[in-house]
Amino acid sequence: MSLVIPKGYHNVLGSLENTEKAIKAVKDMFQDNLSAQLALLRVTAPMTVLSGIGLNDDLSGVETPVSFPIKDLGGVQAEIVHSLAKWKRIKLAQMQIPAGRGIYTDMNALRPEEELDNIHSIYVDQWDWEKVIAPEQRTLDFLKKTVRRIYEAIKVTENKLYVEFPQIEPMLPEDIFFIHSEQLLQMYPDLSPKDRENAVTKEHKAVFVFGIGGALSDGKPHDDRAADYDDWTTLNEDGYYGLNGDLLLWNPVLESAFEVSSMGVRVDAQALRRQLFLKGEQYKTDLMYHKMLLEGKLPYTIGGGIGQSRLCMFLLRKAHIGEIQSSIWPEDMREKCHNAGIDLV
């Protein structure tokens, strides 16, 4: 557990009631802006999926999901979702959504292996979205265009929020800065990946770091990614590998880079085989989801997740994600936060 107590922190909204009103305002406004920018239809999402069919997401590839037996199915195991990257792709196929349109969900997940701090909780809530694309749109240029649309939705939400809560002044820059993780390594070779993110985001305020998952020139990835959803091995137009990335904003309250979204062009059959090989996970080709993809039964897509509590935390200038969502926190963390004027719900 690590905890940052910002010096002189106070609730700019003045009360817990105003905070709750502002949370609702952010969520209502942003999902409308997002769906308009990306042509998305809201759908109902599951909280659980069956184990052993490859449908749950492995995130960085090491997390263990919460699982339990289902009595009426003879004790068959199910598990709480980590996210819905693969489920959404199957849903798009079932709904026969055409290219250019997509879906989004209110996704709720449990990640009990998270290290609890200002921005990490065992409970995850996000807008999980997925959009059908044409094969020729599996490019870095299309990824950047999509990122710009999401960033525009965030900026519009920030500006609308200012109308209702004038104490929260807009601060996002007009444009977002793009950089590949290898370029970032070359720029700051002596820094850790997180410190590189802090350095570049402090300078540009809004950054999209792309190409995350594959080994860089130092032999290590910028961050880990599972093999079977984002494409992090395809050579892009800039001569680097990867069609995925993270959207980072400079958080002046915590004085650090702040990830609000992870997203990317999803693997096609070729990229899936390549990435499963690199991870030593070729056995997954026998799982339901992976078979469907390799047999051409799933559409080409781009997708990602945008943290609901994370975005609210950023836009409402909060110091701890527990000011936005109700979760479980260590008692000493609660006490330290309370003494610093940080009210965890």
Active-site residue set: 57, 111, 126, 246, 259, 262
Residue-wise over 158-197: b if at least 16 C-beta within 10 A, else e?
A: bebbeeebeebeeebeeebebbbbbbbbeebeeeebeebb
The token pair at 40 is 């998305």
Q: How far apart are CA 303 and CA 285, in angstroms?
A: 22
Q: 281 in helix, strand or coil?
A: coil
Residue 169, by phi and psi: left (phi above 0), alpha (psi -120 to 50) or beta? beta
Q: What is 200-256 written as a DSSP string?
A: HHHHHSEEEEE--SSB-TTSSBSS---SSSB--SSB-TTSSB-SEEEEEEEETTTTE
Q: 112 in helix, strand or coil?
A: coil
Q: 123 in helix, strand or coil?
A: strand
Q: How far apart are CA 337 and CA 103, in angstroms?
A: 38
The token pair at 211 is 């190409």
Of 158, 129, 157, nearest to 29 (Cα)? Answer: 157
